[in-house]
Chain A
């Protein structure tokens, strides 16, 4: 479904991605794990068109995403839940959700999708008139995911959804990702928390200083010594 080939990205003089390649099959959960500054966010930003790579190709369903301006990529169904959630703090919960549907015209289906989001996250429904900025971290993450669902994703990319959240909330968020995937959504999950990410995912890629160090079936990566040493804190 998504094919990323030999991406090279620079920020000024900094070589952030050095020939990243990976593939995502439809219906799968693929995770990209790696430490601070490895290039995970940069990879997602490049797919969403927020940064332009120097080299490389990104193909989504046989379309060249690099030829599409960033604001149209969402319309293709490539939707991102950005690092740090980035919800609109001065809009209320429902307005935030509706911003996800900004490009859509199918009013009726939008209403159904809103109900779908409220069904997945009943807490958002209770707080629908509350300002985004007043939500707790976990609720903000739910809102960011809900907002992405409102964009009708075919590929949902999540950048460290577990960041800064209590384990019980993380579990809830990951349950939800699993639920969405069970309903047919393809997921690209970026995480520092390799343990939970690999348990959920089908396929894993390990990214180190802008390169894919190695990859494989998520379940086998969990048992891989290199992963256990570097990312699961085991000796």
Chain B
């Protein structure tokens, strides 16, 4: 029982981690609590589902369709909903994000209907047992895809020119401009990467629970937010750690305490971490600027 719950927790945690990374990256660049991120995740699931059922594409192309489609939506939102108010006070940006979230949820209901759509079963789900550790095929796929995406992301952020531009822009946007960095392009690129990771998480969740519905992004977005804050908002490794902690404790908590508390556990951890280390596990304590 423990082993099953643990691997379930790790699978869930990988999904939370992927979602949280996109969330934390956008925050790191423009200091926006991106409320629309959960809905991007939902869009990813629906785009992939459309690829599978309507277009009859195989799994991998559908998966990519989900990621690409959602990242286009993310960039369009950044361009048309956010960039007009980049220079306005942060509260305007936040309101735009909330508006965009409501728009996407209703858009999805209009296009795909308000009901829960079932995801076709694509992979035969077997249970493997290695050294007493039990995991299903889907759980292994979720873990594998998440690790692969995180490695690609790490490579981009650490070793490419665009990645360096991203790090500089998130540390000091104006100084980045003085280096000749086109910070608008960096912002769009961040939305693109963040949205495609969120979308990947949405598709994986759709495959795991075999369902997609227009409001599926709501709790996911909230949990991504919590994971990002637990790990230290703006910090990519922190978001991964936060997501894994959330997934595992939620799954174990649901099994050993009560499944009714499933979603509450996230917030209990959040409160606990904020009391002990307000900047999050890997977050740096913010120094007052002189």
Instruction: Please determine whether chains A and B interact with each other in the same assembly.
Output: yes
Q: Taking beta carbons and an 8 Å cutoff, which residues of A are in contact with B?
A: 48-50, 69-72, 74-75, 79-80, 82, 86-91, 95, 99-100, 102-103, 147, 151
Is A50 touching B181 in the complex (CB atoms < 8 A)? no
Is B167 touching A91 in the complex (CB atoms < 8 A)? yes
Is A151 touching B180 in the complex (CB atoms < 8 A)? yes
Q: Taking beta carbons and an 8 Å cutoff, which residues of B are in contact with A?
A: 161, 164-165, 167-168, 171-172, 174-175, 177-183
Question: Which of the listed residues B171, B175, B182 has the most CB atoms from chain A within 10 Å of its own CB?
Answer: B175
Q: Give the Cβ gap from A79 to chain B, nearest Cβ, in Å.
A: 8
Residues of chain B lying within 8 A (CB to CB) of residue A79: 178
Residues of chain B lying within 8 A (CB to CB) of residue A90: 167, 171
B182's nearest neighbour on chain A, judged by CB, is: A71
Give the total number of A-B pairs whose CB atoms are below 8 A apart. 57
Residues of chain A lying within 8 A (CB to CB) of residue B168: 88, 91, 99
Question: Which of the listed residues A71, A82, A147, A151 has the most CB atoms from chain B within 10 Å of its own CB?
Answer: A71
Residues of chain A lying within 8 A (CB to CB) of residue B178: 48, 50, 70, 74, 79-80, 82, 86
What CA separation (Å) do A79 and B177 show in the bound complex? 11
Whether A151 contacts B177 in the complex (CB less than 8 A), given A86-B172, A89-B171, A91-B167, comes out as no
Is A88 touching B180 in the complex (CB atoms < 8 A)? no
Residues of chain A lying within 8 A (CB to CB) of residue B165: 102
A84's nearest neighbour on chain B, judged by CB, is: B290
Whether A74 contacts B171 in the complex (CB less than 8 A), given A95-B164, A99-B164, comes out as no
Is B175 touching A87 in the complex (CB atoms < 8 A)? yes
What CA separation (Å) do A48 and B180 show in the bound complex? 10
What CA separation (Å) do A72 and B171 show in the bound complex? 20
Identify A88's interface contact among B172, B177, B182, CB under 8 A.
B172
Is A86 touching B181 in the complex (CB atoms < 8 A)? no
Is B179 touching A99 in the complex (CB atoms < 8 A)? yes
Is A50 touching B179 in the complex (CB atoms < 8 A)? no
B161's nearest neighbour on chain A, judged by CB, is: A102
What CA separation (Å) do A171 and B181 show in the bound complex? 32
Q: Give the Cβ gap from B108 to chain A, nearest Cβ, in Å.
A: 36
Residues of chain A lying within 8 A (CB to CB) of residue B181: 71, 102
Q: Give the Cβ gap from A161 to chain B, nearest Cβ, in Å.
A: 15
Q: Give the Cβ gap from B75 to chain A, nearest Cβ, in Å.
A: 19
Is B180 touching A71 in the complex (CB atoms < 8 A)? yes
